[in-house]
Amino acid sequence: MKKKELMTIAPPKLTSYLMKAAKKDEPVKTQHWKADKNYKYGRYLRVKEEKGYLVISVFLTQFVRAGARHPFYVVYIDKSANDFITFETDTGNWRKSMLYNLDWPRYTYGSGTYISRRDKKLVCRYLGTETGEYEELERYQTRVREQQLIARHRKKTDAWDEVMKQVPGIPKDWKRWLRKNVVSEHYIFYKYKKGGATEGYCTHCGKMVPIKDPKYNKSGICSRCGQKIHFKSVDKSKSIWTKTEAAYLIQRCRKGIILRLFEVAMVLGKGDFQNPEIWIYETKRIFYDDQFCEEPYYYGDYKNRGARWIAGESDCRRVGFYYYYSYSPIYGKVYPRTLPALEKKELKRTGLRQWIQGNTILNPREYINSWRKLPVLEQIIKAGLLKLAGELVEHPEEFVWKDSTGELAKRLRIDNAKLKRLRKMDGGIHVLYWLQQEKKEDICLPDELIGWFIKKGILPKDLAFIHDRMSYVQIKNYLVRQKGKRGDSIRQVLITWKDYLSMAKRIKMNVYDAIVYRANKLYQRHSELVEYIQKNQLSVTAGELEEEYPYINGILPRLQEKYEYSNKTYTILASGLITRRALSCS
């Protein structure tokens, strides 16, 4: 609405009749609160139509009784534009609030609102209402704001609905596949009879099968399909709702592919066990373009206006009739029958189908995101290195890849012989680290030795402090010997060893002498050095800091300007260089 045009319209004035009526309207105390006083009419309204606008002057009784002649609010309504705005005369501000939300004196909530018959007819004619009362003005404004809100939302929701038009239909065998492959809780229902039941209905294979000595709630195996089941008596069993499980469906769409997440459960009604119902709730849709850039949607309540597909992520996950917050990936089974066609084109270079075939439960979205960071995953999976692939899918940051193309061995920074060993050992990322170390040093370590270090949680980088003086076999033997019958783990022994050599270096011992670095009684020597350093109050020297942090003297001068401070009482100095004085280690 054009405010300049509105200001050219003179608002309806207060009539002498209304002034007299307001002065005669004496306030009456309320029964609810002694300090409250209500009028017969707390507001007086004057209405007119000009330049296509409905103009409403609102006079407050309290101010009219005090001699005020100007309206407190002036409301302008433009029906053609389906909009309204209010001018606050006291402050000169424009308000877009509805009448209901304007600032009113307390007494107006217990008082009536006066509007003449003529003005009511004008309101009815202009707005198409029935009575023209003040409450109809409020309801009209509420409808306008509701329609405006819907229009604003539709700018988003129409675009989302357009994206949803490309979603394919559900496969014909979808529910049957869910019951056979996703629902893990199954039952055999039997009818009790004298001498024991000999057959029952299996919910997994959907047929009557022979049974022997069934007991209520006892677990067993279906003799026909081999599914794990629980026996249920038809007479005793109530309605059953199995646990909610996840299922994924990958399909081709106009944009590329769509990954759909469903939550699934089986519902068995009391006495109707032969007609299980598969409960399905689709919670997420992830669209991928040809570069596998994702566009996620979730199904939820948008702006309290009903359930629909909404762009973005939602942490709220539904299970049955309940909701809870889930921040971890959702693992489930993937429908396999759409994959062969997708692998010929969209999934050709991803290795996703092989990953699905090698894993019963997985999260395809997690795999795709990891594959985008590490394209070598395709080669790793197709080479049969499922353990390594699994660790990298879960933690792609564990390894930094330098070679983006080429043979797998080269990209893993090992040779073909070591790649065969990696495959034979079904090795993960830690085995790969050790094989890379072998390649770097041009050595060959026994598989048993590598396995021992990995089992103890030790990687090549953990041994860098001593490996220049001892072989890996010697390191292992020394760790085992020093552990002896102590309760410490091998890794704790390693930490103690590293700490001992660090202290030995501090007090100028020759840490390259075998008597020092391969001390016969490691824990005793460690304790002696701790006691010696504490007794003599030795400190970390500047030389040690410079050795450990070679760039520190270049960094510290730049910190002076940032951290130095001075006033009349205190001065804080930041030393720009490491001096050769001892720096306190406490």
**For 193-248, how does the pLDDT look when each residue is reduced to its tens digit (9 = 90+)?**
887 888 999 999 889 999 988 989 999 999 999 999 999 998 888 899 999 999 99
Tally of domains within the chain = 4
**Segments forming the whole domain that contains residue 583:** 542-586
Q: How far apart are alpha carbons 307 and 314 in whole angstroms?
A: 13
502 and 578 co-located in one domain? no
Q: Within a domain: residue 379? A: no
567 bridge partner residues: none
Per-residue tokens: 262? 């469903």
137 and 56 co-located in one domain? yes
Q: Within a domain: residue 267? A: no
Per-residue tokens: 160? 């989302």
Q: What is the average pLDDT value for the chain, to the nearest integer?
A: 88
Q: How far apart are alpha carbons 151 and 530 in whole angstroms?
A: 74
Q: Assign residue 348 a region: left if phi > 0, alpha if psi is -120 to 50, beta otherwise?
A: alpha
Q: Within a domain: residue 25? A: yes
Put simply, whether the predicted model's pTM sits higher than 0.85 gets the answer: no
140 and 58 co-located in one domain? yes
pLDDT in tens, 257-309: 999 999 999 999 888 888 899 999 999 999 999 999 999 999 999 988 889 99
pLDDT in tens, 437-468: 999 999 999 999 999 999 999 999 999 999 99
pLDDT in tens, 138-150: 999 999 999 999 8
Q: What is the pLDDT of residue 583?
A: 34
Integer-rounded Cα radius of gyration of the chain: 40
213 and 229 co-located in one domain? yes
Question: Which of 86-100, 335-349, 470-484, 541-555 is predicted least confidently?
Answer: 541-555
Q: How far apart are alpha carbons 258 and 565 in whole angstroms?
A: 59
287 bridge partner residues: 258, 295
Q: Within a domain: residue 526? A: yes
128 and 9 co-located in one domain? yes
Coil, strand, or helix at residue 98? coil
Per-residue tokens: 445? 């370590």
What is the three-state SS of 517-532?
Answer: HCCCCHHHHHHHHHHH
Q: How far apart are alpha carbons 530 and 256 in whole angstroms?
A: 65
- Please state whether beta strands 187-190 and 228-233 pair in parallel, antiparallel, or not at all (unpaired): parallel
Q: Within a domain: residue 262? A: no
